[in-house]
Amino acid sequence: MLKATPVPEARNGADTRERIFDAAEALFLEHGFDGTSMRMVTARAGANLAAVNYHFGGKDGLFREMLARRLDPLHEARLALLGERRRGARGRSLGCEEVLAAMFIPALALARDPARGGRDFLRLLGRAYVDPSPVLREFLSARYAPTIETFKEAFAAALPGIPRRELAWRLHFMLGALAYTLAGADAWRLIAALDPPPCPSAPPAAGARDTEDDERLLARLAPFLIAGLRAPLPDLGAPAAAPAAQRTRAGTA
């Protein structure tokens, strides 16, 4: 159905991998995992269909490595910044905003660096986290679980009033709002329609998103998420039934 236009490039040897990565990334942004065919990718990269199988072992391997290329540096930078802030705090535990900043700032930095992320970096991140394909879901949760765990600890220290289970849920809600917003095929339209940038000098090409937009977007998102994390605890109905033994610990896990 959809044929990607072949790009007549110099197809000299060893950077075939990189060309395939770039093609896969661009197509994944537009069509998702299932919607992106190997034939589209290889045509756009100017490579042979079988090259993907040779270099990455198949479609699954290609997309896993494609994501790791972008997300490994992100999670590394996040952990580094969190550790740095912790050391700078000298015993005092970090505030909720500081922990969230340790998540956001490296992401914005990579979005400004064309070599390690680029303009569409945050959209890629969001698309990856909302994609329904089991391949991507398993890869992401397995590979980046340690980072999430570390940040969960940091948020727990910053929000001593929130029980552990409740905090786990709230981080899940947070991730949902974040991923869904960044992924937005429509968030892009929303930005244009609702939130014109201060300098509308040149209308950007369709589909491209400025890091300026991303910055404003995360600036809007941050207060929303922080207020949600600090929200009053929910009133879950009392168990009331026969096995009424375990409810005492719910307050301060």
Partner DNA sequence: GTCTATACCACGATAGAC
Partner DNA sequence: GTCTATCGTGGTATAGAC
Residues of the shown chain interacting with DNA in the complex, contacts defined by CB under 7 A: 1-2, 11-14, 16-17, 36-40, 47-55, 57-60
Best CA proximity match to 177, nearest among 123, 136, 227, 224: 224
Is residue 62 a contact partner of residue 31, using CB atoms and an 8 Å limit?
no
Which partner from the list DNA, its own copies, none does 80 bind, CB cut-off 5 to 8 Å by kind? Answer: none
- The residue among 88 and 134 lying less far from DNA, judged by its C-beta, is 134
Minimum CB separation of residue 120 from its own copies in Å reads 15
For residue 57, is it left (φ>0), alpha (ψ between -120 and 50) or beta? left
Residue 21 and residue 48 in contact, taking contact as beta carbons nearer than 8 Å: no
Within 13 A of 19's CA, how many CA atoms are on the CB side?
Answer: 21
Number of other CB atoms surrounding residue 206 within 10 Å: 8
Which of DNA, its own copies, none has residue 55 at its interface (CB below 5 to 8 Å by kind)?
DNA
Amino acid at 106: P
What mask, x for binding its own copies by CB under 8 A, covers residues 216 to 245? xxxxxxxxxxxxxxxxxxxxxx-xxxxxx-
Is 52 or 182 the residue whose CB approaches DNA more closely? 52
Choosing among DNA, its own copies, none, which partner's interface includes residue 150 (Cβ < 5 to 8 Å by kind)? Answer: none
CA dist 242 to 164, 220, 239, 246, 247, Å? 25, 46, 8, 11, 12
Residue 1 touches which of DNA, its own copies, none (Cβ within 5-8 Å per kind): DNA
CB closer to DNA, 17 vs 209: 17
Whichever of 47 and 156 has its CB closer to DNA, that residue is 47
Task: Please tell me the distance from the alpha carbon of residue 129 to that of residue 249, in angstroms, as a whole number.
Answer: 33
Q: Which of residues 182-221 bind its own copies (CB under 8 A)?
A: 183-187, 190, 194-195, 198-199, 210-212, 215-221
- 133 interacts with, out of DNA, its own copies, none, CB within 5 to 8 A per kind: its own copies
Task: Please select the residue that binds its own copies; options are 4, 38, 109, 157, rule is CB under 8 A.
Answer: 109
